[in-house]
Amino acid sequence: MQTLMRKITERAAHVSVLGLGYVGLPLAIDFAQAGYTVTGIDPDANKVAGLQAGVSHVQDIDHVELQEVVNSGRLRVTSDFDALREVDTISICVPTPLNKTKEPDISYIVAATEAIVERLHPGQLIVLESTTYPGTTDEVILPRLETTGWRAGKDFFLAFSPERIDPGNAEFRLKNTPKILGGVTTQCTQVAYHLYQQIITTVVPVSSSRTAEMVKLLENTFRAVNIGLVNEVALMCARLGLDVWEVINAAATKPFGFMPFYPGPGLGGHCIPLDPHYLAWKLKTLDYRARFIELADDINTSMPHYVVTLVGDVLNEFQKSIKGSKILILGVAYKADTNDLRESPALEVIRLLQQKGAEVFFHDPYIPEVDIPGLRATVLNETILNWTDCAVITTNHRAYDYEWIVEHAPLIVDTRNATQYVKNGYEKIHKL
């Protein structure tokens, strides 16, 4: 333990990151910038080739900062898992999707663990960062690592530290976002804390890896449930003839006891739509039903259907049907000002409109193409806006000139309140 702690202090520790996506790549770069020798490992040969050439596939990572650490030799990327034999620390940053029945798929974590088991040596630190259900670290990873005969807290060190990356957030990056950390033993927590303390301003140790796993799920379940609540409030306001955006903005003036959340066409991203299901699944194994999570999921997953119904109602006012109408989707990323398509509700809105016979086109300044049969990208100009029957704003990118869009489109369905500051043509706009 003391040997590894000393190597970390002296920047002599060889750090590795397994999985070089939007979580792993920033982590690898930050360690390299802090003076460590870093090996990034990813099975995607195309991704590795791009990184070796200094080309970032992650929007928040600038090519220049990537090239600097690659050219300096502080960051090496490879698809060869045998590189794990040489390293002192391993941060696991692999995907944790849900399967078709919304149950956790931890196959990537298991595969990463098996790769580590084959190359584990005394003195190594392993930290799981991938979001998962409470108990994964000590029930799934720990027993596999201990098949080597080595023991956690004595021969190697194991901890869980959930990622808190927020794509597109320029204010809170890895360094200044407090990091939760819990080891499977006290010694494991101490070593992992010492490592992450070198690159992150505030590291928050908790009593166990299970606690750290639960913290992450609470954070995103909190958001999913509150978004579900405000989405239902939007449905209520529609029935009552009220403007939900006005209601929320007025409520947000209260300086205590209220935190504003905003409705939309549904949930997107890798975390919020998925993470609560990890918790709900775990609780099912303990004969407990997570009712808030189930209800919030029902409401949130129904929002694309509500958007399509709203589009149909708006067109109907002008003696048109969805079938045969030319509908322009503005923004397909799940979040404003990013190129992230993961779980984007815009994709479900598109599919539903197509099923009803609409001719659907899309424009997104960050995403040139989407793999949906029959869907085509289009330029955004006056001719296209005049030609379309209805434009649906599903992502509120700041790059859009909403005043100009409203001026030239015949009808607007705004699911994000992106047109709140538009001064003219307000009669064309129909909000969620």
Q: What is the CATH number of the domain that holds 331?
A: 3.40.50.720
List, for residues 45-70, the tens digit of each pLDDT value: 999 999 999 999 998 898 899 999 99
How many domains, in total, are found in the chain? 2
Q: In what order do the strands lie in the sheet with 37-41?
A: 75-78, 37-41, 14-18, 89-92, 125-128, 157-160, 179-183, 203-205
Tell whether the model's pLDDT for residue 100 goes beyond 90: no
Does residue 240 belong to any structural domain of this protein? Answer: no
User: Nearest 5°: phi and psi at 267?
Assistant: -90, 150
| 398 Cβ contact list (under 8 Å, min separation 6) | 336, 337
List, for residues 401-419, the tens digit of each pLDDT value: 999 999 999 999 999 999 9
> What local confidence, expressed as pLDDT, does residue 101 receive?
84
Mean pLDDT (whole number) for 172-201: 97
User: Nearest 5°: phi and psi at 110?
Assistant: -65, -45
Does residue 231 belong to any structural domain of this protein? Answer: no
Please tell me whether residues 163 and 34 are part of one structural domain: yes
Does residue 322 belong to any structural domain of this protein? Answer: yes
Please tell me whether residues 10 and 124 are part of one structural domain: yes
Does residue 217 belong to any structural domain of this protein? Answer: no
The whole-angstrom separation of Cα 251 and Cα 258 is 7
Please tell me whether residues 338 and 425 are part of one structural domain: yes
Poorest-pLDDT segment among 31-35, 168-172, 360-364, 427-431: 168-172
What pTM value is reported for the model?
Answer: 0.93
Does residue 283 belong to any structural domain of this protein? Answer: yes
* Active-site residue, 271 included: yes
> What local confidence, expressed as pLDDT, does residue 270 receive?
84
More reliable by pLDDT, 270 or 349: 349
Q: Which amino acid is at 266?
A: G
User: Nearest 5°: phi and psi at 126?
Assistant: -120, 125
Which of these, 26, 198, 2, lies nearest to 129 by C-alpha position?
Answer: 26
Please tell me whether residues 196 and 249 are part of one structural domain: no
Which pLDDT band holds residue 241 (cuts at 50, 70, 90)?
very high
Please tell me whether residues 87 and 196 are part of one structural domain: yes
Please tell me whether residues 107 and 253 are part of one structural domain: no
Mean pLDDT (whole number) for 139-147: 98
Does residue 235 belong to any structural domain of this protein? Answer: no
Does residue 213 belong to any structural domain of this protein? Answer: no
DSSP 267: -
Tell whether the model's pLDDT for residue 4 goes beyond 90: yes
Tell whether the model's pLDDT for residue 102 goes beyond 90: no
> What local confidence, expressed as pLDDT, does residue 168 receive?
85
| 239 Cβ contact list (under 8 Å, min separation 6) | none
How large a percentage of the chain has pLDDT more than 70? 100
Which pLDDT band holds residue 126 (cuts at 50, 70, 90)?
very high
Give whole-number Cα distances, 106 to 239, 270, 401, 423, in Å: 42, 14, 42, 50
Mean pLDDT (whole number) for 187-210: 98
| 365 Cβ contact list (under 8 Å, min separation 6) | 397, 399, 400
Please tell me whether residues 57 and 161 are part of one structural domain: yes
Asked if 334 contacts 340 with a C-beta cutoff of 8 angstroms, the reply is yes
Please tell me whether residues 61 and 112 are part of one structural domain: yes
DSSP 178: -
Please tell me whether residues 99 and 192 are part of one structural domain: yes
Which pLDDT band holds residue 99 (cuts at 50, 70, 90)?
confident
DSSP of 106-154, one letter per residue?
-HHHHHHHHHHHTT--TT-EEEE-S---TTHIIIIIHHHHGGGS--BTT
Mean pLDDT (whole number) for 397-401: 97
| 418 Cβ contact list (under 8 Å, min separation 6) | 393, 396, 400, 402
The residue range of the domain holding 13 is 2-207
Mean pLDDT computed over every residue of the chain = 96
Tokens of 187: 């010694």
Does residue 269 belong to any structural domain of this protein? Answer: yes
Please tell me whether residues 138 and 264 are part of one structural domain: no
Tell whether the model's pLDDT for residue 190 goes beyond 90: yes
List, for residues 286-304, the tens digit of each pLDDT value: 999 999 999 999 999 999 9
Where is the domain boundary, 207, 237, 263?
A: 207
Mean pLDDT (whole number) for 211-226: 97
Active-site position among 93, 188, 237, 271: 271
